[in-house]
Amino acid sequence: FFFPFISQQQGCPYLRCDSSVDGTIYKYHARTLNGSSTVNFSDYTGKSVLFVNVATHLTVWSLSSELNALHEEMKPFGLTVLGFPCNQFGKQEPGQKHEILPGLMHVRPGNGFVPNFLLFEKGDVNGKDEQEVFTFLKNSCPPVGDSFGSPTGRLFWEPMKTSDIKWNFEKFLVGPDGKPVMRWHPSVNISEIRADIHKYLLQLYTQEAFN
């Protein structure tokens, strides 16, 4: 069933996705960052998956490190984080595929940073050339708001839709059945997302224990 948006001020910073939507992520796939292999999302059957559109040249450079920490903590409980570099928001992922990992390692966050989650080829998450899995995710969850994370002129796709991803680091949680569960605005802190995911995973384990 479907829950409307509850504001962050009311204690719930996420939107609940529509579980009655047709299909799952398992019919989709993507190529890894270096283009050497294709990953079928059916490989994640039975796991909870966090989809994140990422970028390197951010003012808030700690986001990639926070995702690393989240993945490290939650991976033993069945969570997998997947990152999708995108250059549609403020041109903050301008590098070629071979430049993205060195950018993370030496620039932002720097200090030898290496993501512990899988990165995929750079691509679009909005507009006419958006990746199909993001079309599915957006169709499964209500929009996180009406406004985008930047003034006009720093958003690079057409046509624009209310359901579109608003800025870098918007997040979608998909359950172990391949159905989207939650969607977070890019501005929501990782600490809050961690708490939401922890609660969700605890509910899953509780249900399994009584089944």
Give me the chain's average pLDDT, please. Answer: 87
| pTM of the predicted structure, to 2 decimals | 0.89
Stretch 189-211: mean pLDDT: 88
Give the Cα separation of 50 and 96 in Å (integer): 24
Lowest mean pLDDT of 44-48, 109-113, 121-125, 202-206, name the range.
109-113
Residue 130 pLDDT more than 70?
yes
Cβ neighbour number for residue 84 with a 10 Å cutoff: 23
pLDDT of the residue at 147: 78
- The SS3 of residue 54 is strand
> Which residue is associated with the tokens 């993370």?
104
Enumerate the domain spans of the chain.
15-210
Give the Cα separation of 181 and 201 in Å (integer): 11
Write out the two tokens for 194: 């961690």
| Structural domain 15-210, CATH architecture | 3-Layer(aba) Sandwich (3.40)
Residue 86 pLDDT more than 80?
yes
pLDDT of the residue at 26: 99
Stretch 151-164: mean pLDDT: 86
- The SS3 of residue 121 is coil
Give the Cα separation of 180 and 182 in Å (integer): 6
> Which residue is associated with the tokens 């903590």?
73
- CA 165, 166, 170, 175 dihedral sign is negative
